[in-house]
Structure 1
Amino acid sequence: MSTTSGRGLPPYARVFVDIRARIDSGELRPGDRVPSTREITREWGVAMATATKALTALRREGLVEAVRGVGTVVRGGPDPEPMSPSAPASVPEPVPDPESESESDPESARRESERRRERRSQTEPALTREVIVRAAISVADAEGIEGLSMRRVSTELRVSTMALYRHVASKGALMTAMIDRVYIDAALPEPPPADWREALELALVGEWRIYRQHPWAMRLTMMAGAVVSPGLMMNAEWMLKVITGQGRSADEAQDVLAFVSAYTSGMALQATRVALEDHEFGMDADQWWRSRAPEFLRHAAEGRFPLMFSVSGPPDVDAIFEVGLKHLLDGLTPLIEGTGSGPGIRPGIR
């Protein structure tokens, strides 16, 4: 599996050290493709964000480079494209040669303008809206939504920032497209399961997986979120259709949807700290708790929190989510099926 033990190192650093050792030993030679993020998650047993962070660290050290259509390769091999390994994909403007043509010569300026247009036509067809959106998702997965910017995405793709604006109008439009993509990739089946409970559980578990894989998405998809995208609206429409299929009005269904969405996003907040710690410090949940051991032991010795320090370990948020979801749907059954005798959310729902 790995070439070094990496004991004591955070997960992303272990991956970084192992791949660097393969490069140093010659096992991976210039131009060879290094493991992809998915291959890293399987081989090292780490999260996708951790794998992305390791590859980002390798790129920043100048050991590897991303090549469109190929993947991440060891630097120093033959150029897959007509550019130097360190040059951006949008070729820099050439410096006029004073011995061959004058900058003030109109004919020279015309020829130079034509060459620039030709270079753009040769380098930019590979840059598409879809390529930009998926690169932005990778950046946000590895560095959080705070690390996302048009400049950061352009660096990832090795193009000029202005090249992005030919495909995406703004950062806000990019975030909308990112949410759209992750929800379209996780699109719910049509038609929904006939059993409303099975259908809602399917939708909420799917949303939970989106939040776990893309923690940044939670901040953009909550009820007062920053974006509204077709993919996100399709997801809500699907759940509303399930609830109204039980005889509830669209308003009543929206209220139920607010209940269940608040549960999913609230539980995701519990898991987000683990994701943020993994991003910021390269720690998983167990490592985070161990790193705080001296502080916890000091508080335990004070004897003021006997119940807190009697628990066996950190909570398993994934297991808790599943158990809590079942209880939530149990409690909502009378509301959705209209069999309860208590007051509803809005007049008319019993």
Structure 2
Amino acid sequence: MTAPYARIVADIRQRIESGELPPGSRVPSTRRIIADYGVAMATASKALSALRQAGLVYPVPGVGTVVAAAGTVAPQRKAAASGTDDVVRAAIGIADADGLAGLSMRRIATDLGMATMSLYRHVASRDELVVRMLDTALGEYPLPADPPDGWRARTEVSARALWAACQRHPWLAHALSMTRPQASPNGMAHTEFVLAALDGHDLDLDTKMHVGVGVFVFVRGVAVNIEPELRAVQDSGMSDEDWMTAHKPSMQAVVDRRRFPHLAAAMADEIDMTLDSLFEFGLARLLDGLDTFLTPHAPSTMDR
């Protein structure tokens, strides 16, 4: 009897070979495989791993798993992990392509060509692995050793570095926690960076921590929308603009101008609103508010 994952592999292989899934196109994600074939996450992950090992597909960060071009060699897995860094990097690659939901110790082991239990020589648990992953991801965007002058410029540097890391790794915002902060040196560096930016202001530590964590919460709050948006594009095959164009008439039909006059006017206009524009607008307003709050506490108007 053919294993479920093998049937999925055969089906997707046939779609690739027939041209239904041409080179560069996205193959079904783990979520889509689960929904379409009625299988568990482990089976969906195993099917994608088998396709990658066969050189038919390869993961693209922020896009998903795509079909390799005919006659080319898709990026191949390593024969074996030589250390913890290999395990962490393999896990990041999987999460970049399929999110944390597609991450499992079995899938990492399969990609690295090693036994699942061997991974535990490098990390004690999946939770520890995720902490190492987020620390590595944040470390790709180091804070400057020579920061700019002024609390606002320094705080903005930290916020933009966090935003860039979350854009590069869409799963990162979901992995970061405010209420249960992880033991991540690179994450702690951001908090320290903002706290140091407030030196010289007449603020107690409690207030300074609320400022520092508040900036982090804002960035994370916008960034948690990155991954769902990417998955929606992958699952639907439609960009945000295409989706709005297709659904705008039905939404306008629901918006009663008498009940929602402002919203109706907004929908009738061409408003360019993206996660980037929301981040830029929100960050500027957040810093404006902090500027008003910090002005009475500032040692000098030059430090603003």
TM-score normalised per structure 2: 0.69
2:76 corresponds to 1:67: yes
- Conserved? CA contact 1:243–1:336, under 8 Å: no
Counterpart of 2:174, as a letter, is R
Partner Cα distance (2:224, 2:56) in 1? 36
Partner Cα distance (1:294, 1:217) in 2? 35
- Conserved? CA contact 1:200–1:242, under 8 Å: yes
Name the residue aligned to 1:83. none
Counterpart of 1:67, as a letter, is Q
Name the residue aligned to 1:138. 93
Name the residue aligned to 2:48. none
Q: In the alignment, which of 214, 218, 226 is matched to residue 263 of structure 1?
A: 218
Structure 1 residues 332, 138: CA separation in 2 closer, same or farther (over 3 Å shift)? Answer: same
Name the residue aligned to 1:275. 230
Paired residues for 1:1-350 under 5 Å: 17-19=22-24, 37=60, 48-50=61-63, 52-54=64-66, 57-58=67-68, 66-68=75-77, 89=79, 124=80, 126-225=81-180, 227-293=182-248, 295-296=250-251, 298-299=253-254, 305=260, 306-313=264-271, 315-339=273-297
Partner Cα distance (1:153, 1:180) in 2? 18
Counterpart of 1:316, as a letter, is T
Task: Determine which structure has more spread, i.e. the larger CA radius of gyration.
Answer: 1
Task: Quote the offset at 1:150 in angstroms.
Answer: 0.7
Is the partner of 2:149 in helix, strand or coil?
coil
- Conserved? CA contact 1:133–1:178, under 8 Å: yes
User: Would you say how many aligned residue pairs link Structure 1 and Structure 2?
Assistant: 247
Unaligned runs of 5+ residues in structure 2 are 1-18, 26-53, 299-304
Task: Quote the offset at 1:65 in angstroms.
Answer: 5.2
Deviations 1:126-160 (A, max 9, x none): 43211111111121111111111111222222322
Counterpart of 1:324, as a letter, is G
Counterpart of 1:188, as a letter, is L
CA RMSD of aligned residues (A): 3.5
Name the residue aligned to 2:42. none
Deviations 1:238-288 (A, max 9, x none): 111112343433322101113222221222244443223134444432233
Partner Cα distance (1:19, 1:275) in 2? 16
Structure 1 residues 175, 36: CA separation in 2 closer, same or farther (over 3 Å shift)? Answer: closer
Task: Quote the offset at 1:333 in angstroms.
Answer: 1.4
Task: Quote the offset at 1:311 in angstroms.
Answer: 3.4
Relative contact order higher in (CA < 8 Å, ≥ 6 apart): 2
Counterpart of 1:53, as a letter, is T
Is the partner of 1:224 in helix, strand or coil?
coil
Task: Quote the offset at 1:234 in angstroms.
Answer: 1.6
Deviations 1:176-229 (A, max 9, x none): 000110111111011322221111111101111122222221122231256331
Task: Quote the offset at 1:297 in angstroms.
Answer: 5.4
Is the partner of 1:53 in helix, strand or coil?
strand
Partner Cα distance (1:326, 1:263) in 2? 11
TM-score normalised per structure 1: 0.60
Partner Cα distance (2:65, 2:166) in 1? 18
Structure 1 residues 301, 249: CA separation in 2 closer, same or farther (over 3 Å shift)? Answer: closer
Q: Among the aligned pairs, what percent are the same residue?
A: 30
- Conserved? CA contact 2:131–2:183, under 8 Å: yes
- Conserved? CA contact 2:92–2:133, under 8 Å: yes
Structure 1 residues 176, 141: CA separation in 2 closer, same or farther (over 3 Å shift)? Answer: same
